[in-house]
Amino acid sequence: MSHFIHPQGICESPRIGAGTRIWAFAHVLPGASIGADCNICDSVFIENDVVLGDRVTVKCGVQLWDGLRVGNDVFIGPNATFTNDPFPRSKRQPARFSQTVIEHNASIGANATILPGLTIGQYAMVGAGSVVTHSVPPYAIVVGNPARIVGYTTTTAEGVTARADSTPEHAQSRVRGVFLKEFPRHQDMRGSLTVGNFATDIPFLPRRYFMVFDVPSRDVRGEHAHKACEQFLICTKGSVRVVADDGRDRQEFLLNCSNKGLYLPPMTWASQYAYSADAVLLVFASHEYDAADYIRNYDEFLEQVTVAGDAA
């Protein structure tokens, strides 16, 4: 099946995939590469050093500049703006333009602006009119100027809350091995007390702890997995949202009281966001710090999960 070019469209590139449609007043320069089954709408300009995957939709009034790499199944809304030079000057081109990457299945809303050199992660969603100044993690939903994370796709803010007398097995979530544990709370006129036991309530003896606090609400933390380390998270003050991901299922948890904790087994991709201004997150870890234990790239995490699953 050949591609389609509207009589009033200009396509100078020979690298156009089968089934792709290029509509009126669009202009594709010779060096561009466009995959199969794409839809390039009216008045779109595509420069030379641009690569589009398959099934990409580019709505009206969009310009795709040198250095842009777009994965499969990406949606780019009308009048979205991409940039490729952090310090633009007339008649002064850099030796190399910044490369911006839009990973597969991401969506860019109408009139959004993407600064140069960023990565929009897979399945991420950029809200209409947003100004994106930092790379967007996979599955994140960002809105505003500057864009801030307000949620994650394919997750629900639900609590799989265990009763105080339940075992971890009774509190399993959809994500492999993850559970939310509620501890007993005792309160009288002298104050409140909550208590938990290591190796029974928390399934490991900690070798390390750390605390996270004074985090601006717009910032996201975590965004990694551990190969061997187990973690248990308690928000001792304020609130924070945690997204856990085992490579197949994802779930969001709200930690908002000091007698509730979340267990994260090894090979769980975790992100924390929406910290309240007063939030204090206490994390117990089963291992001492080891940089080699971290997986910080989501695609690498998915590859290792797949390999582990095949081996099992």
The CA distance from 107 to 77, in Å, is 8
- Could you report the per-residue pLDDT of 273-309, keeping only the tens digit for each? 989 999 999 999 999 999 999 999 999 999 998 877 6
- Could you report the per-residue pLDDT of 88-128, keeping only the tens digit for each? 999 888 888 999 999 999 999 999 999 999 999 999 999 99
Which residue, among 231, 273, 229, 267, has the nearest Cα to 255 in the 3D structure?
273
Rounded to an integer, what is the distance from CA 215 to the centroid of its chain? 18
Q: Are 193 and 259 in contact (CB under 8 A)?
A: no
The CA distance from 171 to 181, in Å, is 7
Retrieve residue 224's tokens: 């990694």
Output the pTM of the full model: 0.82
Burial class from Cβ neighbours inside 10 Å (0-12, 13-18, 19+) for residue 110 reads: middle
Which residue, among 21, 19, 18, 22, has the nearest Cα to 9 in the 3D structure?
22
- Could you report the per-residue pLDDT of 247-270, keeping only the tens digit for each? 999 999 999 999 999 999 999 999
The CA distance from 112 to 41, in Å, is 17
CB neighbourhood size of 79 (10 A): 18
**Structure confidence at residue 187 (pLDDT):** 87
Q: Look at the block and give the residue holding tokens 């601006």.
A: 216
